[in-house]
Amino acid sequence: MIDCHLHLQDPLLAPKVDEIFAVTRPLGITRMVVSGTRPGDWDAVEALASAHSEILPQFGLHPWRIDQAEADWLGSLENRLRSWPEAGVGEIGLDRWIKGSDFARQKEVFSAQLELARRLRRPATVHCLRAWGGLLEAIDRTPTQTGLLLHSYGGPAELVPAFVGRGCYFSLSGYFFREGKEAKLAVFDSVPTDRILLETDAPDMGPPPEMRRYRIRAGRRSFAEIPGDEPNHPANLAAVYEAFATRKGIGLGEAVALTERNFTSWQSLGRGR
């Protein structure tokens, strides 16, 4: 099983990494794409990738973190990516949901990273909330063969063909199996099966309580930072796979094989192969 998007470097998970791998490895979770969000966490992502062979790193500047980057952030990002030829670009994107953010600056930062991904031939992971039209415009302004993964896609079904036509992939998290998220989940019924990947987005986007088989034990940092919820354990990916297989009416083994093929295609497209 492949977790195509999570943040293992997050302080809620990082102190528990050894415990986490003690659970995920026996379950057959063989690949994790760990995405950076700002220059301040790139070292942590790099250290995890150096220590654990199943981790594929990504480095990027998240739209929520654009005010945490120094003037030379883009050059630093390029240097980091060149030192990690297997790394992707992420997590990057656009977000109109957050209040008080400079959307024009978001677009500038996002486009610069798209262009970098194109030039270095790297796959990229995209965050988008309430900015789907702007995302399409940004992609079209940077013609590219870079494989883009729209993580936890929450856009309308009507835009799925447009994103498919631009070479995008779509990842589904356990969060969309929660009560009240049925419409979001139904959108994935319109996504071609050769474009679907699965993720946890741990420590966020946790599945409903009945799907949570693994929990992060409390540590030194308060869990009150995720109001009304607890950190999502990466091992909950197994439950996401089972729920996806059930919804598609296929066996678990077929779901694993399907997402492995799609993961390889996403990575290969991003590298221009």
Q: How many domains, the chain?
A: 1
The percentage of the chain sitting over the pLDDT mark of 70, rounded to a whole number, equals: 94
pLDDT of residue 220: 40
**Amino acid 223: pLDDT:** 35
Q: How many CA atoms are closer than 13 Å to the CA of 200, on its beta-carbon side?
A: 28
Residue numbers of the domain that contains 62: 2-270
Dihedral angle at the C-alpha atoms of 5, 119, 77, 65, nearest 10 degrees?
-60
Would you place residue 222 in the very low, low, confident or very high pLDDT band (cuts 50, 70, 90)?
A: very low
- Say if residues 206 and 229 touch (Cβ distance below 8 Å): yes
Q: Is 5 helix (H, G, I), strand (E, B) or coil?
A: strand
Per-residue pLDDT band for 10 (boundaries 50, 70, 90) equals very high
What per-residue confidence (pLDDT) applies to 221? 40
Q: What share of the chain is helix, strand, coil (3-state, %, to 5)?
A: 50, 15, 35
Q: What are 238-256's pLDDT values in tens digits?
A: 999 999 999 999 999 999 9
Contact 49, 34 (CB under 8 A): yes
Band of the pLDDT at 187, cuts 50, 70, 90?
Answer: very high
Report the pLDDT value the prediction gives residue 98, as an integer from 0 to 100: 86
CA atoms within 13 A on the CB side of 146: 26
Q: Residue 84: which CATH number? A: 3.20.20.140
- Per the structure block, which two tokens stand in for 254? 């077929």
> DSSP state, 169?
E
> Contact, 89 vs 124, CB < 8 A?
yes
**Mean pLDDT across the chain, nearest whole number?**
93
Mean pLDDT of all residues in 185-197: 98
pLDDT for 227 equals 43
Q: How far apart are CA 32 and CA 65, in angstroms?
A: 22
What is the mean pLDDT of the segment spanning 149-166?
96
Contacting residues for 105 by C-beta, under 8 A, at least 6 apart: 66
Paired with 125 in beta bridges are 149
In this model, does residue 218 exceed pLDDT 60?
Answer: no
What is the average pLDDT across 122-142? 94
Give the span between the Cα atoms of 29 and 260, in whole angstroms.
11
* pLDDT over 90 at 217, yes or no: no
pLDDT in tens, 61-83: 999 999 988 999 999 999 999 99
pLDDT at 116 over 90: yes
CA distance 43 to 48: 9
Of the chain, the percentage scoring pLDDT greater than 90 comes to: 86
Query: What integer pLDDT is reported at residue 186 of this predicted model?
Result: 97
Say which residues have a Cβ less than 8 Å from residue 129's Cβ, sequence separation at least 6. 94, 95, 96, 97, 98, 154
Q: With cut-offs at 50, 70 and 90, classify the pLDDT of residue 150.
A: very high
Q: What is the pLDDT of residue 224?
A: 35
Over residues 170-189, the mean pLDDT reads 97
pLDDT (tens digit per residue) in 83-103: 999 999 999 999 999 888 899
Whether 227 contacts 6, CB under 8 Å: no
What is the four-CA torsion angle of 155, 156, 157, 158, rounded to 10 degrees?
A: -120
**Mean pLDDT, to the nearest integer, of 136-156?**
89
